[in-house]
Structure 1
Amino acid sequence: MPIDPYVMLLLGTVGLAALLPADGTSADVVSGASTAAIAFLFFLYGVRLSTREALDGLKHWRLHITVLACTFVVFPVFGIAARGLEPVLLTQPLYQGLLFLTLVPSTIQSSIAFTSIARGNVPAAICAGSFSSLVGIVVTPLLAAGLLGGDAVGFSTDSVVKIVFQLLVPFVAGQLLRRWVGGFVTRHKRILGPVDRGSILLVVYTAFSEGMNQGIWHQVSPVRLVGLLGVEAVLLAVMLVLTWYGGKALGFGREDRIAIQFAGSKKSLASGLPMASVLFGSHASLAVLPLMLFHQMQLMVCAVIAKRRARDPEPAAGAPDGSAAAHPVQGQPQDRVLR
């Protein structure tokens, strides 16, 4: 079971914020830098998303609608149902973080990687993850406004306006300028990759510094954290089962079901952290804690599932559970992890 090195960096950043939180003037500087980093991060997202690939991916619309429904309908329904666990198992801030977790878009990179390892429909996973991230920029704040607006401390519908200017506008700008700067970003992706991750680390440090300054960590106990982990384990297990057998019930072949399972059961840390910072402000630290834990859990579990799927026998051409005949684009080699 892999431990994501980046998650370790995130935990280290949380520890740094606990020991040396930014306050006073330094907090203002860090907050301003975090705001700029988030805007630049979503500008890069816009530059990297190929409009042509997205349009080509629409041809497999049934699969993409299925993934979007899992991400933005089924997940939130379970999040709402978890309200019954408050306050016996989860405190209000932890429940709000859990509910926010169910609202964020799916991942891109890990969905592609695990789909490739399991010999699934990689092109579909690429498009499904991209669509989910694109839709999430609009849908996640709207869902948060409707489901969290009246209860979340520090959250308001004004945050939706904030997220439009801080996330959506830079994303659209990246799409519009992609023609001129897309080549540069592609050529220097190894340099810009650490910029992506560094931006998110800055967001985490800012959020947890504000949390330390407000003393909100006194609201969390080890028993509550264990309870949160248990709830998230059940949530992940249910979504993995639903996406796999639900895909079969909808008539999808093996390769498509793999893409649906890995794209439809995941939540994006890269998108969720910046959104939480904008939506929750100074209360973002507890709001992102469930997402950080779920992220590591989904990587560990899906890595095991992907390796087992890779050992499945090849379906015969035209077999009911094979999809190569139905979707010729899936016949390309998929034995390497796409990054």
Structure 2
Amino acid sequence: MNILNKLKKEWFLAGMVLAIFLATITADFGRSGGLIHLDKLTGIGVAIVFFLHGLGLSPRAIKDGVANWRLHIYIQLCTFVLYPLLWLLFGNSFLTYMPSALAFGFCYLFVLPSTISSSVAMTSAAKGNVPGAIFNASLSSILGVFITPLLIQLFMGFEGVELDLLASVFAIAKLLLLPMIAGQLLRPYLLKWVEKHKAVVNKVDKYVILLIVYNAFCDSVANGIWSEFSLGMLATSIMISTVCLLVMVHSIQWGARRGGFNLPDEVAAVFCGTKKTLAAGVPMAKVIFGADPTLGMILLPIMLYHPIQIFYCAILANRYARKSAHNNQAVTG
């Protein structure tokens, strides 16, 4: 009985474990482009989350999110300066002790922009600064179109990079801004309904995160990263990806607290500043590296890092949500 009560209380974390387990045995079912086209389903889910954000956010909150320039500078510096520093510090060691393609894969991981959907969804689940997360996740994706190839060329010497900026901006607007604008336009008509069903609405982002986790792990299993590489190489890559994530998460937390950011801004900084995009990373890699026969190994670090970051950040989101609830109770009490 106690176990059931514990699972009921921790349903989100239990769902994460279940999603990973199911992905290992049903990869073809849940992978992108699979039987149920879960990638499209999660895209719809993300659009719903943003639509609900548009309904729930007042115009003043959105304005405050855009105007929070200290948070924006901090997040973008974490993404495009602090992370690449890892390569400057440890790149030579990577090239010495692992195949060059795998080492360059970590270089590519470090210079990628942030995710959009999971960053915002987890910021929302953790009761963080959602307007700030929306702005910074979008800005990171736009900046990444220019900065990622530039850093790759600087660190790895690749040239001839051409990326379609207009297509990237359109994709971001379609995914993020249009649902949010629709929510804002319908806010006067649906706000009372949202407040009435707040208990259900507040869980939608967590449901979407579970679908994203399942889809991400299905993609990893379906792409054979557990069988194409040696066990030792795979274990080393997982360890490095995990250590990099932990170092970045707690460094950004420390910096946010030292910088005087409040808890909602810290949440947004952690989830936007530590995420690296797999959805944009794969097509960008095909453009940057072309028909390189080692492309699979170059992509291994981001394919490993992506589900690890979602899993660990989901745990953090749960902790932040509890801390936020505790702080609110202390204020109201």
Shorter-chain TM-score range: 0.5 to 0.7
Cross-structure match for 2:313 = 302
Cross-structure match for 2:87 = 79
| From 306, 311, 323, the counterpart of 2:322 | 311
| Cα pair distance change 1:67/1:173, threshold 3 Å | closer
Cross-structure match for 1:252 = 261
| SS of residue paired to 1:270 | coil
Q: Do the aligned partners of 1:107 and 1:263 also contact (CA within 8 Å) in 2?
A: yes
Cross-structure match for 2:186 = none
| From 237, 246, 270, the counterpart of 1:237 | 246
C-alpha distance in 1 between matches for 2:152 and 2:63:
28
| From 269, 291, 314, the counterpart of 2:278 | 269
Q: Do the aligned partners of 1:125 and 1:263 also contact (CA within 8 Å) in 2?
A: yes
Cross-structure match for 1:37 = none
**Residues 102-127 of structure 1, C-alpha deviations (whole Å, 9 max, x = no match):** 11101111111111121111111111
**Equivalent position amino acid for 1:308 in 2:** R
**Equivalent position amino acid for 2:322 in 1:** R
C-alpha distance in 2 between matches for 1:186 and 1:264:
27
**Equivalent position amino acid for 1:255 in 2:** P
Report how far residue 173 of structure 1 moved. Answer: 6.4
Cross-structure match for 1:115 = 123
TM-score (norm 1): 0.62
| From 102, 109, 114, the counterpart of 2:110 | 102
Say if 2:226 is the partner of 1:226. Answer: no
C-alpha distance in 2 between matches for 1:147 and 1:86:
13
CA RMSD in angstroms, aligned pairs only: 3.9
Identity across aligned pairs (percent)? 33
Say if 2:293 is the partner of 1:291. Answer: no
Report how far residue 54 of structure 1 moved. Answer: 9.1
Q: Do the aligned partners of 1:124 and 1:256 also contact (CA within 8 Å) in 2?
A: yes
| SS of residue paired to 2:98 | coil
| SS of residue paired to 1:286 | helix
Q: Do the aligned partners of 2:62 and 2:131 also contact (CA within 8 Å) in 1?
A: no
C-alpha distance in 2 between matches for 1:175 and 1:310:
27
Contiguous gaps of at least 5 residues in structure 2: 1-12, 32-42, 184-211
Q: Do the aligned partners of 1:117 and 1:310 also contact (CA within 8 Å) in 2?
A: yes
C-alpha distance in 1 between matches for 2:79 and 2:262:
20
**Residues 251-285 of structure 1, C-alpha deviations (whole Å, 9 max, x = no match):** 11111001101111110111111101111122322
TM-score (norm 2): 0.63
Q: Do the aligned partners of 1:90 and 1:228 also contact (CA within 8 Å) in 2?
A: no
Report how far residue 68 of structure 1 moved. Answer: 0.5
| Cα pair distance change 1:61/1:293, threshold 3 Å | same
| From 112, 134, 138, the counterpart of 2:146 | 138
| SS of residue paired to 1:311 | helix
| Cα pair distance change 1:175/1:8, threshold 3 Å | closer
| SS of residue paired to 1:252 | coil
C-alpha distance in 2 between matches for 1:286 and 1:12:
20
C-alpha distance in 1 between matches for 2:85 and 2:111:
10
| Cα pair distance change 1:235/1:172, threshold 3 Å | closer
Report how far residue 73 of structure 1 moved. Answer: 0.4
C-alpha distance in 1 between matches for 2:147 and 2:304:
23
Cross-structure match for 1:22 = none
Cross-structure match for 2:208 = none
C-alpha distance in 2 between matches for 1:231 and 1:168:
32
Q: Do the aligned partners of 1:54 and 1:131 also contact (CA within 8 Å) in 2?
A: no
Report how far residue 175 of structure 1 moved. Answer: 8.7
**Equivalent position amino acid for 1:62 in 2:** R
Q: Do the aligned partners of 1:116 and 1:122 also contact (CA within 8 Å) in 2?
A: yes
| From 129, 134, 138, the counterpart of 1:126 | 134
- Equivalent pairs counted in the alignment come to 247
Runs of 4+ that moved beyond 6 A: 52-56, 173-176
